Amino acid sequence: MRFNLLGAFELVTDDGKTHTLSAPKMCQVLAVLLMRAGSVVSVDVLIQELWGDHPPSSAMTTLQTYIYHSRRMLEQTGVTSADGPRLHTQLPGYRIKADATEVDVLEYERLVRESRMLLERGRPELASRRMCDASALWRGPVLAGIAPGSVLAGHVAHLEELRIRAIETRIEANERLGRTRETVPELRALVATYPLNEWFHARLIVALGSSGRRVEALHAYDDVRRVLHKELGLEPGPELVRIKQEILGSSAEPVSLSLVDASGRVRPRRRTPFRT
């Protein structure tokens, strides 16, 4: 049994059949419950997700109807647990029974945590493999085709941010394994997708410079400088400037992921350059 939310919302039953859910409101209810699988989600939270700050007078009755149809759908598709139905009424709301191996979002979060822990323990090869397993769970945008309410929007934002951090972890693991040159194509795609993320730009510049492609590295620096100036009216941060100066001085050194702050900007730190 599997609940997939990292892409179109779908259920995969034990017999391997995939069921795509198309009723938007029912999908919203189930998605909120699955994001917090095993925990009780209050009626107020579900109403907030469905109607925001202006619920209709019939909100409670309508929510109960969505719960009823959700239960029927789960039972008709054979989605039950060993001890009965998956979806339970439990004050002050509802709870869905599912563990981390049955919800792709929860499995993804677990794999990312494990990967980061392995990297911190000096096991980059295993960390990289774990992160590749995590990345393979993504089939498209979270809950593709469903317009999330405020509750789900918060979960989606969290997952998108976690995805960026996961990519950073995988890149750092590959660098520690001496695979810097191999990261260049992916980093070029990442700076195109996330043009304001200075960490990705910094990694691309360093990867190019340490691969003997200094001219391309300097062009990459000019690119991020233009983007930051045009979009934000800012100049590159101190760490990007330091990397540029090291490349001009015929030396380059990887930037530690620990230097990245919450905004994605690379924090400066003194380092002793090494010669290429």
pLDDT digit string (tens) for 130-172? 999 999 999 999 999 899 999 999 999 999 999 999 999 999 9
- Residue 210 CA to chain centroid, in angstroms? 28
For residue 84, the cross-strand partners are: 81
Q: What is the pLDDT of residue 227?
A: 97
Using the structure block, give the residue that is written with the tokens 């509750």: 151
**Which residues, in sequence order, are CB contacts of 127 under 8 Å at separation 6+?**
115, 116, 118, 119, 169, 170, 173
pTM of the model: 0.83
Q: What is the pLDDT of residue 21?
A: 84
- Domains of the chain, start order: 9-96 (1.10.10.10), 183-276 (1.25.40.10)
For the purposes of burial, counting CB atoms within 10 Å of the CB of 94, is it exposed (0-12), middle (13-18) or buried (19 or more)?
buried
More confidently predicted of 266 and 200: 200
Q: Are 36 and 152 in contact (CB under 8 A)?
A: no
Using the structure block, give the residue that is written with the tokens 């795509």: 20
Q: What is the pLDDT of residue 249?
A: 85
| Residue count (the chain) | 276
Least confident of 12-26, 39-53, 233-247: 12-26
Q: pLDDT per residue over 20-72, tens digit each?
A: 887 899 999 999 999 999 999 999 999 999 999 999 999 999 999 999 999 99
Least confident of 42-46, 80-84, 263-267: 263-267
In the three-class reduction of DSSP (H, G, I as helix; E, B as strand; rest coil), residue 93 is classed as: strand
In the three-class reduction of DSSP (H, G, I as helix; E, B as strand; rest coil), residue 95 is classed as: strand
Q: What is the pLDDT of residue 85?
A: 84
Is the pLDDT assigned to residue 6 strictly greater than 60?
yes
Left, alpha or beta for 191 (phi > 0: left; psi -120 to 50: alpha)? alpha
- Strand residues in 107-233 grouped as ranges (E): none
- Spatial distance between the Cα atoms of 193 and 189, rounded to a whole number of angstroms: 6
The mean pLDDT value of the chain amounts to 89
**Which residues, in sequence order, are CB contacts of 45 under 8 Å at separation 6+?**
32, 93, 151
In the three-class reduction of DSSP (H, G, I as helix; E, B as strand; rest coil), residue 20 is classed as: strand
For the purposes of burial, counting CB atoms within 10 Å of the CB of 184, is it exposed (0-12), middle (13-18) or buried (19 or more)?
middle
Q: Are 60 and 38 in contact (CB under 8 A)?
A: no
